Structure 1
Amino acid sequence: MDKFNGNQFSNLWASNLYYPFNSHNEWELASWLLHSGLSMRAIDSFLSLSIIQLLNISFCTARALHGLAELLPGGPCWHSMEITPSQPTKHPVHLYWHDPLECIAWLLNHPLFSDQLNFIPRCVYKMPKKLCRVYTEWMTTDDAWHMQSQLPSGVTLLGMILSSDKMNITTLCGGRVAHPLLVSLANIKMSTCLKLSSNSFMLATLLPVPKFMHKNKHMHGLLEDRLIHECLDIILEPIKQAAKLGIMLLDSLGHMQYSGKLKVHPTNIQVFFHEAQHFCLSGVSDPFWRDIPLSCPSTFITPEPLHHLHKEFWDHNMKWCINVVGEAKIDFCFSVLQPTVGFHHFKGGVAKLKQVTGCMHCDVQHYIFGVITGAAPPKIITAIHVLMDFRYQVQAYHIDDDNLHIISSVLDEFHMHKQSILNHGAQCSKGNKPINNWHIPKLELMQSIIPSVKHVGVTIQWTADVTEHAHVSEIKTPASASNNNNYDPQICQYLNCAEKCRMFELTTSLYESKIHSHEISDYEEVNLVSKMPGPTQPITDYFTISACLRTQDPDSIPFPLHSFIADGMAINLSYDPSLQCISVDATLVDFLNCEKVYGPSSVHTISRQCQGSSSSTLPFTDLQVWYKMWLQNTVIHDIMDILPAQTLFCSPPCETWTLGCYDAAIINVDPCFKWPESGLKGSWSTLLFHVTHKSILGHVVGQLHLLMRPFGKRGVRWSWTDHCLVYMQYATHLHILRCTKRVNGQCLGNVIPLSQVQVQTADN
């Protein structure tokens, strides 16, 4: 708002809020064209249309449109300079950057984050006796507490996140590479920072990617590393001064926040590089962090899930499985898996996949354990299982001391079984030559995750998923709008224009709201701003839909409810069923007999025998049948965060699925157990070894075969009127799901209330 009011055209905005555009409608057209991704020629062609010229807009060419956009108030300014490296390069080296201190001030001052900032370090415990420490975000860790204790009274601690990774701009025409450096605030709450649409990361720098002319090609990597640290020294100088002396910054509510060398030049860089290699050093003599107060690479270089966990699985764990089981068998097992909505289906196998994304790494992890079971040696299966357990344990949003102890014991269990991987020759080099050591950096890094959680917080908050996504909006989209030549300055120009448009849209929206309402509260401003980050696909909230239906007049809504909440889960059915009538078998009689004995509120267990008979009478004649349903859960660690709904099919054979599509789900069969805290307590192995048991406690896995709603006979009352039921066939869940059968060979199944279905599983 201050930038808007302090602009050179602020006096003109009193009469026309959208100057240099004539009106709000003209600004909407201009904003759409600027964000459309159309080329300059395409925009010129659009503006030359007769119907557009009748609008009498203030710009008639793309160049004129961009000229008007340049007049809008902007964010941090771009800087550039030419750098002379120590060794000659093929082309001049240019550095483009934002002042990172301006980026931090911009994020701190942004209204979107006004209620999403943490400034107070704290220690969180599970119990009043302070015996079990809880670690979540950065402000709950030892480092934040220690740093704040060393600062003078009244000084606020701000943390800066730097993320850098090379990426390809083009692959077929020239192989152009960009090296962006993104910056964000560690004080932003984790729940906001991890949202891809929050725009919490800004492009601070485009680091140069030069081509050196040194005759020894092995030296090119060292020279590039040294140049990067030299550039970071230039870029981060304002941050270093602010860290030493402190600086006054303004937050989004208008409050002021006060936050607060000997160089080695070897004469022969090649000799220096070889000497550094003897000590496993990179050869960089002046790292950029050397003179930043309260900084140590052992803590601020954090593990992150995308590269250190999921990439480790793909580069090593997956290769062990392929080497032991065989490439052809792995591919065949993946190709015959039943497709499940919401989960990737690898119909061509996985062994020859290229350019595999982190999302695909997670998809393979859903299936790999079931695929290798029975084909790989038991100790290798155990080793991969405990690594998978470790991988998911460390991605929790809340980790306490008890969890850290469990994570440590899981890692110890892997070390107990890892020798079997070497004994079977599963670890091989590129030439299929067995490797007899464990010199794997990503595997060794797992040892540092537990101390990292204590020092800087949970690992999931440092994931590179957000920054990898930001590469699309900050690099690839601007590059696609360029002329494919000299990318860096055009990327900067595109981002500068985009930032001006976002700021102008936000500011005019706030002003317009004040004009219409005469007075708007800070809370309403925040709500208005929260709608501004960009176009995202909203998640259908069946929890809210179900809650609204409950509050309405029962006479105004049709029954039964097709959206309802059961045991913390939202269940939704389409209004029109797939079938109106279908025949039934004796399992429904068993369901009714159980309901008569225990009442309609009981949880139905699994019966070993089918007690119903064909002569039994049913209190209904017809069934409504659905072929699919939707289940929606909340995040385990934050019940306020709603996950996308999962689709479960129970479709009979058709043209699309010649054998039908019957998805698997986890079923609750005992009210004393709750998913997911209790897990699959009481497995089917208990029933297999003790055939006298007639039921199973806890949770089991089964396939949906029929989703129905019975219609009661006229004049006959029964307690399950207007309720939905599901017929499940149960399976053993000893890593591979197999249909459980009775003595006569029939599949074992039961009718249970739909509300007992807990969650979909992809391991089918």
Structure 2
Amino acid sequence: MYYPFQSQGEWSLAKFLAENLTQTQIKRFLALPWLIWRDAEEVVQSLFGNPIFGANMMFDPILVMTALGREYSEWFPAHEAHRIQDSLPDGATITPVTRMTGGLEMHPLFISIGLKHSVDTGSMMLDPHGHLWHCFMPLVAWTADLPEQLMIACVSKSASPVTEATHKQFGDVHRQSSHTSNLTLQHIEQVTWNVHPWDNLNSFQRQAKMLQLNGICLPFWRNWLFVNPSTFLLPEILHTCHKFFFDHVLPWCKVLLGDELNVRFKCHHKHIAVRHFVSSISHVKQMTGREHCDIQCTIIPMIAGCVPPWFLHAVCTLISFIYQAQSPVHTDSSVEAMELSLHEFHTHKDAIIEARARMTKSGGVKDDFLIPKLELFHSFAEAIHNSGGLIQYTADHPFQHTNKGKDFVDQSMWQFDMYSLIHSSDIPLINTVSMEEEEITTANPMLAWMRLTCH
């Protein structure tokens, strides 16, 4: 009746907060230390044993081969699932929730915070059929933007969170070696051996900075089995690709075209499924990932004829790379094609500098490509091989299906208020459910799964 709450009391509290407090006030209230802490392991056990997913459980890594090579889609066909499974005791399994097939929106879910004991020794869990499994719950993916990735990897802003590249190597053509957890821990140990942070924090931070560290001495992942930040910190499509396009590629085009770019977007012929910017792209009130994608769709024809040919080619190959990276299913050949697009950009990127399109904030011309997110592009291929399609981990994905501009609290309340909605409305129950179906399923992925599997 009050799912996902345990009682009417919890449901009433959520309803009261949503109706009487702002989202900022709710966050402050939920941060109070006396509130109940929910055990993440209990959450995984509930999901693992949910009969709704019983017919769609997967317990073993799989290998999918096609004429184009090995297939990488979900996490289980990728390399990491096989590596971790081979390292587990006989009879143990990695804990999945469900798989993403047939166009359904559910995908593998791995909850790791507060599960260190379970990762080290495993936990016994019942599946939806009543069978007991020895389950391990490793941290396999962490969706974060670049600043959070740097914080988790314990490296400074002048280093890459997933490779050994430093600031002067951000524009290199080739990828640097992976920045492993062992290397980070060795550097931290080296600094603490000279000066302990509790003895002299300022000196510790200075020495840590010399080794491209951010000063964290006890990473939360330091003793976890199967955990490596260079593997679980996956490229995030929204911030790494779309935001990169908005922060760099689009300004390059604006420098060369000026107001002509706005004129071209305003004069663009209307077409179904293509965004028409009536007030030009410089006057959009709120730029989100959606607008970034819409501009990407037409940026090449918009600048064609007004920029040097090799500049156009460089931008085109970069846009191709971004599109190829978003494929939900990859093969060895598609990953190779994606890498080729990135290599083509690096081959012709000097045309952007020659066109004096890369500018500083003060108006000067830059003659380099020392861009942190550009360096992250080199890790896309390895991330796909290790963890499957990157689109399933993007922070942009949950908001693609949001209706009527509701934020998370509003969406959640459609589910939490369902009981009162049914009993306070004169509309027949079946009509009520039909009208609110979309709003409810956006807040509860289990209901979305049930809805799609029943159609």
> Could you say whether these structures have the same fold, taking a TM-score greater than 0.5 normalized by the shorter chain as the test?
yes
Contact 1:116 1:192 in 2 (8 A): no
Q: CA deviation at 1:276?
A: 2.8
Report SS of the residue matched to 1:314: helix
CA contact 2:93–2:135 (8 Å) conserved in 1: yes
Deviations 1:712-763 (A, max 9, x none): xxxxxxxxxxxxxxxxxxxxxxxxxxxxxxxxxxxxxxxxxxxxxxxxxxxx
Matched, 1:240 2:116: yes
Find the aligned partners of 2:49 and 2:209 in 1 and give their Cα distance.
45
Instruction: Kindly indicate whether residue 131 of structure 2 is the aligned counterpart of residue 255 of structure 1.
Output: yes
Q: Which has the larger radius of gyration?
A: 1
The alignment status of 1:188 with 2:101, answered yes or no, reads: no
What's the counterpart of residue 229 of structure 2? 297
* 2:341 aligned counterpart, secondary structure: helix
Match of 2:331 in 1: 400
CA contact (8 A) 1:201 1:470 kept: no
Once the two structures are TM-superposed, the CA of residue 282 in structure 1 deviates from its matched residue by: 2.2
Task: Give the match's secondary structure for 2:295.
Answer: helix
Give the one of 315, 323, 345 matched to 2:247. Answer: 315
More moved, 108-117 vs 456-465: 108-117
CA contact (8 A) 2:74 2:388 kept: yes
Give yes or no for the alignment of 1:274 onto 2:206.
Answer: yes
Partner of 1:152 in structure 2?
89
Structure 2 matches for 1:21-60, cutoff 5 A?
39=19
* One-letter amino acid of the counterpart of residue 39, structure 2: D
RMSD over equivalenced CA pairs, Å: 4.3
Unaligned runs of 5+ in 2: 22-28, 137-184, 423-436, 443-451
Quick one: which amino acid aligns to residue 118 of structure 2? A
1:438 to 340, 344, 369: 369
Residues 350-394 of structure 1, C-alpha deviations (whole Å, 9 max, x = no match)? 134454111111110111111100001111100010111111112
Q: 1:118 aligns with which of 58, 72, 82?
A: 58
Indicate how the Cα distance of structure 1 residues 414 and 432 shifts in structure 2: closer, same or farther if over 3 A, else same: same
Aligned twin of 1:284 = 216
Task: Assess if the C-alpha contact under 8 Å between 2:100 and 2:108 holds in 1.
Answer: no
Pairwise CA distance, 1:532: 9.8
Q: Is the counterpart of residue 384 in structure 1 residue 290 in structure 2?
A: no
What TM-score do you get using the length of structure 1 for normalisation?
0.42
Seen in structure 2, the aligned counterparts of structure 1 residues 472 and 434 have a Cα distance that, compared at 3 Å, is farther
Q: How does 1:561-640 map to 2 (within 5 A)?
A: none
Secondary structure (helix, strand or coil) at the match of 1:387 reads: helix
Residue type of the alignment partner of 1:140: P
Tell me what 1:595 maps to: none
Q: Take 1:533 and 1:113, find their aligned partners in 2: how far apart are those partners?
A: 21
Q: Which SS does the other structure have where 2:71 is aligned?
A: strand
Q: Distance in 1 between matches of 2:73 and 2:107?
A: 22
**Structure 1 residue 313 displacement after superposition:** 1.0
Residue 70 of structure 2, aligned match among 129, 133, 137: 133
Contact 1:136 1:398 in 2 (8 A): yes
- Residue 247 of structure 1 and its aligned partner are, at CA, apart by 0.3
Runs (4+) of structure 1 exceeding 6 A deviation are 34-38, 78-81, 199-202, 469-473, 499-502
1:364 to 253, 271, 295: 295
Q: 2:238 aligns with which of 287, 291, 306?
A: 306
In the alignment, the residues of structure 2 paired with residue 325 and residue 308 of structure 1 have an alpha-carbon distance, to the nearest angstrom, of 25
Secondary structure of 1:134's match?
A: strand
User: Where do 5+ consecutive residues of structure 1 fail to align?
Assistant: 9-19, 21-30, 42-77, 83-93, 159-184, 205-234, 482-493, 506-530, 537-640, 642-764
CA shift, 1:255, in A, is 2.8
1:249-292 Cα deviation digits (max 9, x unpaired): 22333332221298863433344333333333222222211111
Q: Could you tell me whether the CA contact under 8 Å between 2:256 and 2:307 is conserved in 1?
A: yes
1:335 matched to 2:211:
no
Paired with 1:344 and 1:36, the residues of 2 have a C-alpha distance of 39
Give the match for residue 615 of structure 1. none
**In structure 1, what is the Cα distance between the partners aligned to 2:40 and 2:402?**
18
Shift of 1:190: 3.0
Q: Mapping of 1:90-101 within 5 angstroms?
A: 97-101=37-41
Deviation per CA, 1:610-646, whole angstroms, max 9, x where unpaired?
xxxxxxxxxxxxxxxxxxxxxxxxxxxxxxx9xxxxx
Alpha-carbon displacement from aligned partner over 1:19-75 (angstroms, at most 9, x marks no partner): x9xxxxxxxxxx99x98998479xxxxxxxxxxxxxxxxxxxxxxxxxxxxxxxxxx
The alpha carbon displacement at 1:126 in A equals 1.4
- One-letter code of the match for 2:46? W
Are the counterparts in 2 of residues 156 and 257 from structure 1 also a CA contact under 8 Å? Answer: yes
Q: Per the alignment, do residues 98 and 373 of structure 1 end up closer, same or farther by CA in structure 2, a change over 3 Å counting?
A: same
Closer, same or farther: CA 324–245 of 1 in aligned 2, 3 Å: same
Measure the CA separation in 2 of the matches of 1:466 and 1:451: 21
In 2, Cα distance between the equivalents of 1:194 and 1:290? 36
| Amino acid paired to 1:134 | E
After superposition, what is the alpha-carbon deviation per residue over 1:493-534, rounded to whole angstroms, capped at 9, x for unaligned?
A: x88x966979xx9xxxxxxxxxxxxxxxxxxxxxxxxx8982
Task: Give the 5 Å matches for 1:492-571.
Answer: 534=440
Residues 199 and 281 of structure 1: CA distance in aligned 2, closer, same or farther (over 3 Å): same
Which residue of structure 2 aligns with residue 420 of structure 1?
A: 351
The structure richer in strand per residue is 1
- 8 Å Cα contact 2:403/2:439 also seen in 1: no
- The structure with higher relative contact order (CA 8 Å, sep 6+) is 2
CA 1:371–1:417: 2 relative to 1, 3 Å: same
CA deviation after TM superposition for structure 1 residue 338, in Å: 1.7
Shift of 1:397: 1.9
Q: How many residues align?
A: 361
Distance 1:532 1:419, change over 3 A: closer
8 A contact 1:80–1:97 mirrored in 2: no
Tell me which amino acid in the other structure corresponds to 1:456. Answer: S
SS at match of 1:249: strand
Aligned pair partner of 1:449 in 377, 380, 387: 380
Matched letter for residue 113 of structure 2: L
Amino acid of the residue matched to residue 253 of structure 1?
H
1:421/1:118 CA distance change after superposition, 3 Å? same
CA distance 1:96–1:322, shift in 2 (3 Å): farther
Normalised TM-score (structure 2)? 0.68
1:346 matches 2:277: yes
Does structure 2 conserve the Cα–Cα contact (< 8 Å) formed by 1:81 and 1:96? no
- Match of 2:429? none
- Partner letter of residue 151 of structure 1? L
3-state secondary structure, aligned to 1:385: helix
The answer on whether the counterparts of 2:235 and 2:383 sit within 8 Å (CA) in structure 1 is: yes
Check conservation: 1:379, 1:420, Cα contact below 8 A.
yes
Q: Deviations over 1:428-462 (max 9, x none)?
A: 12222222221111111111111111111111111
Give the whole-Å Cα distance in 2 for the aligned partners of 1:192 and 1:269: 54
Aligned 8 A contact 1:276 1:282 in 2:
yes
Q: Post-superposition shift, 1:113?
A: 2.8
Q: What does the per-residue CA deviation read over 1:280-310, in whole Å, with 9 as the maximum and x for residues that have no partner? A: 3222222211111001011100012111111
Q: Supply the distance in 2 between the matched residues of 1:38 and 1:453 (Cα, whole angstroms).
A: 39
Partner of 1:257, secondary structure, is strand
Per the alignment, do residues 79 and 310 of structure 1 end up closer, same or farther by CA in structure 2, a change over 3 Å counting?
closer
Cα distance in 1 for partners of 2:30, 2:118 equals 19
Q: Which amino acid aligns with 1:464?
A: A
Query: Which digits, 9 at most, give the CA deviation of each residue in 1:146-187, with x for residues without a partner?
Result: 1001111211112xxxxxxxxxxxxxxxxxxxxxxxxxx6x5
**For residues 535 and 79 of structure 1, what CA distance do their matches in structure 2 show?**
24
